[in-house]
Structure 1
Amino acid sequence: MNFKLQLLAFLIVHLSVNAQDIAVDKLLKEKGTLVFYDDFNRTEALPNKEDLGNDWVTNTKRISEDIIQCDLIDNTVVISMSDKAKHGVSMRHEAPFKNGVIQSKFRIFDKKGLGFNIIDRNYEGSSFGHICQVKITPSGIHFRDGKMGQFNWEAMRLKKSKDPKDKAKMKTLLKGTKHVTKYETSINEWHNISILYLDETIKVFIDDRFAAEYTSKGFAHPTKQTFAFSVWGKKAQVDDLKVWSIDKN
């Protein structure tokens, strides 16, 4: 490829990325309705008890014998997974939308990173109403369609089966429900993230730059009822969460 063609290819990619960066802010200005906001600028009422306030719910009591895992520190939330925990840590809040944008500041500290989950506990087609997840790790951006894939009751039934035909059916059912885009996110440093949910496509922007996108059928679930942070590693830190709807009546 000669220099002119290389330059043209670079400009096409660069301008396309910048156009997507600008599009999120424009979209929120034109159609955004703030559904939920929390700056975490407060302290727990009792210092030795996990109490995030503002109607946040965690799974700590169920998985780690009441050891504090979600803690308000310096007007942020530090999410730490206890050695006694039998499951990943999650903190969730009602923030319903169909199409929308989730924005937050975050900091990761290990290779397992931080998950941004969507749940609809009224949906009976998947375990716990899991719909989808975006997970940020130091090396990539992970997309998971839980509704159609991993947490789909039929997929879970097929997974338990010892019949080779069921195993084949499971692989077919799960095909395309997970994807990883290689992307470097530094640890021990603050970043900001915007996640755009638009019908069957999710787009991720980190530090105000387009980072990755993926399309899967379950992403278009009509009621994204609950948002949750999740941690399966050592810890992560979050701040300034905003959940927007871009659906107009």
Structure 2
Amino acid sequence: MTHRLLLVLCCLLLVPAFRLNAAEPTEKWGELIFADDFERTESQELKDEPGNEWTTSSDKTAGGNKQVDLRDGYLFIYTHETANHATSVRHEFQFQNGTLGLKFRLDHERDSLKLNFTDLGCKTVHAGHLFDAVVSPKGVLLEDRKTGVMDLKIRAARAEGKLTKAQQQMLASRKKFFPMPIETGVWHELLVHVDRDVLQATVDGQPMAEFSAPGFAHPTKTMIRLLVPYTASVDELRIWRRQ
């Protein structure tokens, strides 16, 4: 191996890379309040056992069938064929403004991963839904659900088929899709920043989406749900709090 090649390799090793498992987050991300690398094993293979205070929806939506699996240091999430809802993997936290980061892999074109920010104490919405950041092979979707489709009055009007034209226009204004191909079968890094009424998403260090809506400014975000309708893999999940 030539001295020049050795020098190139050394330089590549020294280049600072964005890593979700960095010991110290950048100051603008805030205080690191939760971290999970999923480096653990399960005691059995019949039921969900994600550990580290994660809970799942499998008992309620899939008859108790396993839908969450720890595999070689990452979390594999899938929806059982008997399930009546996308698999939900949940963890409590609390911030008003902050950042959630993780690594994800989508193996198929139909796959997606939804980060559903919630507050179960918010009684004006269904099941605490506040807003979503959704990644798929086609791009990123940002949606305010608190003042949109999960608002109880809007939800009732939709169920009865009585949405007014003004309400339909309002709902259309509460979400935005940002098209950009995301390669399947490989790991990507996702950051979702919540600052007042602005939601931003970056993938692999590239800004992909920014959207403003009133529901993003809800003062207490208290739980993250990872919602998976088909399959998705997750690793190195971090939550930082700025406020």
TM range (shorter): 0.7 to 0.9
For 2:186, the equivalent position in structure 1 comes to 189
Aligned partners of 1:106, 1:61: CA distance in 2, in Å?
Answer: 25
Q: What residue is the counterpart of 2:102 in the other structure?
A: 104
What is the SS of the residue equivalent to 2:26?
A: helix
Amino acid at match of 2:153: E
How many residues get paired? 221
Q: Distance in 2 between matches of 1:162 and 1:29?
A: 48
Q: Deviations over 1:78-100 (max 9, x none)?
A: 00111111001110100111100
Letter in 2 for 1:241: L
Distance 2:29 2:194 in 1: 13
| CA deviation after TM superposition for structure 1 residue 161, in Å | 2.5
For the residues of structure 2 that align with 1:223 and 1:34, how far apart are their CA atoms? Answer: 17
CA-atom RMSD, angstroms?
1.9
Residues 138 and 182 of structure 2 are in contact (CA less than 8 Å); yes or no, is this contact kept in structure 1? yes
| 1:244 equivalenced with 2:243 (yes/no) | no
- Aligned sequence identity (%): 28
Shift of residue 175, structure 1, vs aligned partner: 3.2
Amino acid at match of 1:45: S
SS in 2 for 1:109: coil
Quote how far apart the aligned CAs of 1:201 are.
Answer: 0.7
Q: Distance in 1 between matches of 2:152 and 2:170?
A: 11
Q: Which residue in the other structure is 1:77 paired with?
A: 75
Point out where structure 1 has 5 or more consecutive residues left out of the alignment.
1-20
- The 3-state SS of whatever aligns with 2:34 is strand
Residue equivalent to 1:10: none
| In 1, Cα distance between equivalents of 2:37 and 2:58 | 21
Q: Does the Cα contact within 8 Å between 1:158 and 1:169 map onto a contact in 2? A: no
| Secondary structure at 1:158 match in 2 | helix
> Counting helix residues as a fraction of each chain, which structure ranks higher?
1
Separation in 1 of the partners of 2:73 and 2:220? 30
Worse-superposed segment, 138-147 or 154-163: 154-163
| Alignment TM-score, normalising by the size of structure 1 | 0.84
For the residue of structure 1 that corresponds to 2:158, the secondary structure is: helix
Provide closer, same or farther for how the CA distance between residues 144 and 30 of structure 1 changes in structure 2, counting only shifts above 3 A. Answer: closer
**Matches of 2:139 and 2:100 in 1, distance apart?**
19
Task: Provide the rounded CA distance (Å) in 2 between the counterparts of 1:46 and 1:197.
Answer: 37
Amino acid at match of 2:149: Q
Once the two structures are superposed, the pairs formed by residues 159-198 of structure 1 within 5 Å of their partners are 159-163=158-162, 166-198=163-195
Tell me what 1:36 maps to: 34
